[in-house]
Amino acid sequence: MRVTQGTFSFLPDFTDQQIHEQVQYCIDNGWALSIEHTDDPHPRNTYWEMWGHPMFDNPDAAAIVFELNECRKVYGSRYIKIIAFDPSPGWESIRLSFIVNRPSEEPGFKLSRTEIKGRNIQYSITPYSSDKPQGSRYK
């Protein structure tokens, strides 16, 4: 399966040039860029690991693409996403978030059902990969 979180997961994976274009759009809007990676793609895993601080002061997208490639060298077998933060009043949150690196194989998620009173069912979703300890989930 393909994890389709993020703004552009239904498009073919981006080249570095395409990533550069999207990142430059964010910079030109005054947003700070951050690179985050994880081996736990649960849809409610809000806090992926940060690759350094968000980048606030880089006028050119090459800086972010450069860091992305540094991150890929270390965590190339994980999910990596680029996030743009907008600090303007009334928003102060994320404006764009897209996956730029993914494991070669994505085993997907297990859906567990627990039957409780009546016909009510409690659902929980677990990434198959999270059976293994953190750090050894993807090759």
Partner 1 sequence: MANEVEEKVVKAVSEVNLKEDFQSSGVADILSELDNSLIGLEPVKTRIKETASLLLVDKAREKLGLVSESPTLHMSFSGNPGTGKTTVALKIADLLHRLGYVRKGHLVSVTRDDLVGQYIGHTAPKTKEVLKKAMGGVLFIDEAYYLYRPENERDYGQEAIEILLQVMENNRDDLVVVLAGYKDKMDKFFESNPGFRSRVAHHIDFPDYSNDELLEIAEVMVAGMNYKFNKGSIKAMAEYIELRRKQPHFANARSIRNAIDRARLRQANRVFNNSDGPIGANFLSQIEDVDIRQSRVFSGGIDK
Partner 2 sequence: MPDGDKKLDAKARYSAGVLEYKKMGYWEPDYSPKDTDVIALFRITPQDGVDPIEAAAAVAGESSTATWTVVWTDRLTAAEKYRAKAYRVDPTPNNPNEYFAYIAYELDLFEPGSIANLTASIIGNVFGFKPLKALRLEDMRLPVAYVKTFQGPATGIVVERERLNCYGRPLLGATVKPKLGLSGRNYGRVVYEALKGGLDFTKDDENINSQPFMHWRDRFLYCMEAVNRASAATGEIKGTYLNVTAGTMEEMYKRAEFAKELGSVIVMIDLVIGYTAIQSMAKWARDNDMILHLHRAGHSTYTRQKTHGVSFRVIAKWMRLAGVDHIHAGTVVGKLEGDPATTKGYYDICREEHNPVSLETGLFFDQDWASLNKMMPVASGGIHAGQMHQLIHYLGEDVVLQFGGGTIGHPQGIAAGATANRVALEAMVYARNAGKDYLAEGPTILAEAAKTCTPLREALDIWKDVTFDYASTDAPDFVPTTSVS
Q: Is 132 helix (H, G, I), strand (E, B) or coil?
A: coil
Q: Residue 54: how many CA atoms within 13 Å on its side-chain side?
A: 18
The DSSP output letter for 10 is T
CB of 100 to partner 1, least distance (A): 17
Selection from partner 2, partner 1, none that 51 binds (CB < 5 to 8 A by kind) is none
Among 47, 53, 57, 111, binds partner 2 (CB under 8 A): 111
Site track 1-40 with partner 1 (rule: CB under 8 A), x = hit: ----------------------------------------
Distance CA(9)–CA(7), nearest Å, equals 6
CB of 59 to partner 1, least distance (A): 5
Site track 39-58 with partner 1 (rule: CB under 8 A), x = hit: -------------x--x-xx
Q: How many CB atoms lie within 10 A of CB 18?
A: 14
Q: Which of residues 38-57 bind partner 2 (CB under 8 A)?
A: 41-44, 46
Residue 8 contacts partner 2 per CB under 8 A? yes
Distance CA(91)–CA(74), nearest Å, equals 33
In angstroms, the first-to-last Cα distance of the chain is 16
User: Among residues 83 and 129, whose Cβ is nearest to partner 1?
Assistant: 83
| Cα pseudo-dihedral 85, 14, 17, 39, rounded to 10 | 60
